[in-house]
């Protein structure tokens, strides 16, 4: 957990509290307990995504709400579906695989509560066009495409984003890849669940939809269902979407990981070696 992570985590906790309640005393109690937990995790130097998972689970219990971001996720899916025909046509102009990678990375902007990042969900089409015209800060797309012809485990991130992930899954299937699409096992933040994957039509293009178990923010190894762990261990390529999956997998034992993300915060951007807002398609 980097020095800036506690402030970002507290911001997200306050945001999700406001999604659910206007009870000031309850919010105050949740913030107090959260600060104590975050301090413990910070001192233990825990991976931010894993520490955040523990803290958010506590917050959800105190709020009495299993999915505070439900309305935000619905909006993200709705805005993405609205421009999907336009994006589908856009990626067909040129290198389809590369364009689909970029579209899926732009979709990674649907990440609510990050201090350094503002979700442009009010005029997402304009934002998409602006980002699509930019270059990738790290571009390993050709190598990623080569590995995509084998066994692919696709670790999804956010609702809304998952709509554009479908376009990349379709391109992977065209070159012969077997795609195991992994979403959160339970609602957490604005991350995609099985329901969001089905809204996106992933069930019609991927070979199977799996979960990460109990809905961790990212990957907690001991929570992975056996089939998900088996698919990851035997994969020719793991596609890791977003910052939380990056935090959990960047130093993992797995080989052949393609990190597709927007660097939306200072700690992740610094670790990768890019600027905040840069788009990354990096193979490790």
Listed in sequence order, the DSSP H helices in 133-187 are 141-147, 161-174
- Among the three residues 38, 63, 88, which one is the final residue of a domain in this structure? 63
Task: Indicate if the pLDDT at residue 2 is higher than 90.
Answer: no
pLDDT score of 113 = 67
Domain of residue 85, residue span = 70-283
pLDDT score of 89 = 95
Domain check: are 126 and 194 in the same one? yes
Domain check: are 34 and 162 in the same one? no
- Among the three residues 48, 63, 78, which one is the final residue of a domain in this structure? 63
Predicted confidence band of residue 76 (pLDDT cuts 50, 70, 90): very high
Domain check: are 59 and 79 in the same one? no
Domain check: are 33 and 122 in the same one? no
Domain check: are 222 and 180 in the same one? yes
User: What's the mean pLDDT in 153-180?
Assistant: 98
Number of domains within the chain: 2
Reported pTM: 0.95
Percentage of residues in the chain having pLDDT higher than 70: 99
Task: Indicate if the pLDDT at residue 46 is higher than 90.
Answer: no
H/E element, 178: strand 178-183
Q: What is the CATH number of the domain that holds 23?
A: 1.10.8.380
Question: If you search the block for the tokens 């998952």, which residue do you land on?
Answer: 162
3-state per-residue secondary structure call for 60-86: HHHHCCCCCCHHHHHHHHHHHHHHHHH
Q: Which two tokens stand for residue 186?
A: 């339970």
* Segment 105-116, tens digit of pLDDT: 999 998 776 766
- Among the three residues 17, 43, 63, which one is the final residue of a domain in this structure? 63
Domain check: are 180 and 234 in the same one? yes
Distances (CA, A) of 105 to 65, 122, 222, 228, 240: 30, 18, 28, 23, 11
Domain check: are 150 and 230 in the same one? yes
Q: What is the CATH number of the domain that holds 83?
A: 3.40.50.10880
Q: Cα–Cα distance between 174 and 165 in angstroms, integer?
A: 14
């Amino acid at each position: 957990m980097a020095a800036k992570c506690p402030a970002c985590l507290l911001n997200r906790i306050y945001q999700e509290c406001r999604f659910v309640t206007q009870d000031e005393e309850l919010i105050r109690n949740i913030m107090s307990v959260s600060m104590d937990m975050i301090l413990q995790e910070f001192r233990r130097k825990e991976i931010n995504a894993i520490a955040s998972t523990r803290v958010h689970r506590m917050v959800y219990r105190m709020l009495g709400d299993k999915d505070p971001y439900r309305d935000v996720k619905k909006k993200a899916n709705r805005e993405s579906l609205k421009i999907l025909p336009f994006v589908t046509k856009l990626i067909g102009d040129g290198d389809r695989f590369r364009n689909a990678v970029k579209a899926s990375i732009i979709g990674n902007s649907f990440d609510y509560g990050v201090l350094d990042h503002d979700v442009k969900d009010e005029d997402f089409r304009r934002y998409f066009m602006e980002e699509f015209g930019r270059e990738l800060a790290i571009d390993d797309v050709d190598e990623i495409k080569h590995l995509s012809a084998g066994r692919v485990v696709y670790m999804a991130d956010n609702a809304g984003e998952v709509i554009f992930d479908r376009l990349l899954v379709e391109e992977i299937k065209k070159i012969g890849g077997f795609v195991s699409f992994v979403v959160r096992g339970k609602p957490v933040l604005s991350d995609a669940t099985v329901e969001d994957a089905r809204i996106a039509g992933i069930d019609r293009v991927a070979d199977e939809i799996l979960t990460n178990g109990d809905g961790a923010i990212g990957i907690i190894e001991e929570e992975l269902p056996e089939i998900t762990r088996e698919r990851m261990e035997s994969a020719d390529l793991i596609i890791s979407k977003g910052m939380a999956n990056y935090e959990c997998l960047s130093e993992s034992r797995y080989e052949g990981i393609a990190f597709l993300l927007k660097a939306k915060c200072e700690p992740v951007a610094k670790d990768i070696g890019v600027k905040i807002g840069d788009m990354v398609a990096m193979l490790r």
